[in-house]
A and B are shown apart, each in its own frame.
Chain A
Amino acid sequence: MNTLKIILTLLPFVWTIGMIPFANKVHPIVLGLPFLAFWFVAGIFLAFVCLQAIYFIDSKHRQDS
């Protein structure tokens, strides 16, 4: 596991769990959603991007070895 992979793995957890105290509000309404709901939806996309990046790193590594 390299550092980049660890960061990419932890980032979704920090966003979706760690940042809740700061995201717990109704306004501003973003994309039609209360801010808290928007935060979680953005977290879903973040997890997708992070996993995609990890998969990319992994598949490069697999080709090398």
Chain B
Amino acid sequence: MSNETVSLLIIFLFIIGATIVGLIPGMNKKMNLEEWAVGGRNFGRWLNWFILAGEIYTAFAFLGASGWAYSRGGPTFYILGYGALAYVVGYYLLPTISPIGRKHGLMTQPDLIEHLYESKILSLLTAIIGVAFLLPYLQLQLTGLGLIIEACSYGQLTRIPAMLIAFILVASFVYLSGLKGVASTAVLKDILLMIAVVFFGLYLPIHYFGSLGGMFEALETAKPGFLALPGGTKNFDVSWVMSTLVVTSLGFYMWPHFTTNSFSARNPDVLRHNAIYLPLYQICLLFPMLVGFAALLLLEAPLKTPDMAFMTIVQQLFPGWTLGLVGGAGALACMIPAADLLLSTSMLFTRNIYSKTIGKNTDPNSLINVARIAVLGLTTIALCLAIFLPNMLVNLLLTGYSGVTQFFPMIVLGLYWKKSTKLGAYAGLIIGEILVFTLILGKMDPLPFAGMNLNAGFVALLINLIVFILISLSTYTPVKTKKEVPL
């Protein structure tokens, strides 16, 4: 068999295998919405771990980290930093949110906002912003999958039919099994991906340069300063990395799907326990970077798409079956996070947009059918965008992280600060989002300020926070005390 047949065969075995594993939990059971979306709030340590970790090691971790290392050098290392810090935030935040969710039957982030501020409109606004940032993230996974399959077929198979097949499969197991399907496939994906990145991350430097240090010395000689800041970029300097780390570590758990995921935990201790061990998992992100650096030294022709560094080097130096295995693990790294995103986006739509507006009178028991149809609808939208307008959503993607980070003052102060008010939340959120869009789409990210290059999301967050506090203080009336603050 030729190389491309072998590698394509392996990759499709992976995709179909994952689909079957994902379908099993939903086979013999009739699920209600709670069962489907938050696994009946009954996930123990390990399932919850894989759900939280599974969402972290996405196509970006796999393709993006190696691509950044290949093209940008030093600034890539910030990826190692934000995870550990985000889990410190998560250690306090998730165990606070989870019991509130259980007590009041919350399933999504806008549910939480509605609970905190007793405002349906603010909750609707949060849901719409959430969907706007999740859809491009979903599309990114699709595009990643397309790139992987294209590389595995040595350019023989175009990405469109491949994406179609893979995403119909993803939608089918989300449709049937909900979060339980995502959890069981996440286990499989994480193990495979870990083996693949650790192997290549160590093999390439050691085989070609004798050791890790040997590779970095060679790179430092070839490109002095590439491995420090700002590396291969102009303005991703020390101040950029510092401000970006603030945005990404605080914004991490503001992604709407993490709120939904945290509601799946059996008890708060599961979440605390996982927050402790997740930082160690972050070290795995180092290995795709090592592959990216090795690719920079080993590949002769410069790559047009730096995100292809990992796949290209495996394609050039290893036989077809190896490429198939890597592609299979990579395909799962796109499919499983996509499944989780699909589920969360569908929940935002069903619970917080549909049933609050046009579907006000829907019977709660039939909401699961709406949520399932939403899964199919969202898959179709994401596929159409990925196929017909691959560039249209780039802008939304760029603004994604900075955009969701603007939820931070509203959620965190809403939980812990008694004086936060609805008006403060509105003002902070709207100003934050407007700033994010104006700065990023106006090509002012990073924003030069007093000799520094600040992450635009950081600037927006700072102003958002100040506005939130000032408006809250001026509109707070001590009569209405309704907050329950655990801790």
Interface residues of A (CB under 8 A from B): 9, 12-13, 16-18, 20-21, 24-27, 29, 31-37, 40-41, 43-48, 50-52, 54-55, 58
Q: How far is the CA of A43 from the CA of B91 in the complex (A)?
A: 16
**Which residues in window 204-236 of B have CB below 8 A to A?**
205, 211-213, 216-217, 220, 225, 227-229
In the complex, what's the smallest C-beta–C-beta distance from B150 to chain A, in angstroms?
A: 30
In the complex, what's the smallest C-beta–C-beta distance from A31 to chain B, in angstroms?
A: 8
**Are A51 and B217 touching (Cβ within 8 A)?**
no
Q: How far is the CA of A34 from the CA of B227 in the complex (A)?
A: 7
Q: How far is the CA of A62 from the CA of B5 in the complex (A)?
A: 58
Known contacts A37-B77, A55-B276: does B238 contact A47 (CB below 8 Å)? no
* Residues of A close to B212: CB separation below 8 A: 31-33
* Residues of B close to A47: CB separation below 8 A: 84-85, 87-88, 279
* Residues of A close to B228: CB separation below 8 A: 24-26, 34-36
Interface size on B, residues (CB 8 A): 40
Q: How far is the CA of A36 from the CA of B17 in the complex (A)?
A: 40
**Are B213 and A26 touching (Cβ within 8 A)?**
no
Q: How far is the CA of A50 from the CA of B280 in the complex (A)?
A: 12
Q: How far is the CA of A37 from the CA of B213 in the complex (A)?
A: 12
In the assembled complex, 18 residue pairs joining A and B whose CB atoms fall closer than 8 Å, in A order, are: A13-B249, A16-B81, A17-B242, A24-B74, A29-B213, A31-B212, A32-B213, A35-B228, A37-B77, A37-B289, A40-B77, A43-B80, A43-B84, A45-B279, A47-B84, A48-B276, A52-B276, A55-B91
Of B74, B81, B91, B273, most A-chain CB atoms within 10 Å: B81
Q: Is B286 interfacial (CB 8 A cutoff)? A: yes
Residues of A contacting B: mostly: helix
Q: How far is the CA of A12 from the CA of B74 in the complex (A)?
A: 20
Q: Please, which residue of chain A has its CB at the minimum distance from the CB of B79?
A: A40
Q: How far is the CA of A34 from the CA of B74 in the complex (A)?
A: 9
Q: How far is the CA of A32 from the CA of B286 in the complex (A)?
A: 12
* Residues of B close to A48: CB separation below 8 A: 84, 276-277, 279-280
Of B85, B88, B205, B280, most A-chain CB atoms within 10 Å: B88
**Are B280 and A36 touching (Cβ within 8 A)?**
no
> Which 4 pairs from chain A and chain B are nearest by CB?
A32-B212, A47-B84, A40-B80, A34-B227
* Residues of B close to A32: CB separation below 8 A: 205, 211-213, 216
Q: Is B314 interfacial (CB 8 A cutoff)? A: no
**Are A13 and B88 touching (Cβ within 8 A)?**
yes
In the complex, what's the smallest C-beta–C-beta distance from A52 to chain B, in angstroms?
A: 5
Q: Given A27-B220, A32-B212, A48-B84, output 4 extra A-B contacts at Cβ < 8 Å.
A: A20-B229, A36-B227, A41-B80, A44-B282
Q: Is B45 interfacial (CB 8 A cutoff)? A: no
Q: Is B339 interfacial (CB 8 A cutoff)? A: no
Q: How far is the CA of A37 from the CA of B76 in the complex (A)?
A: 9
Q: How far is the CA of A31 from the CA of B216 in the complex (A)?
A: 11
In the complex, what's the smallest C-beta–C-beta distance from A30 to chain B, in angstroms?
A: 9
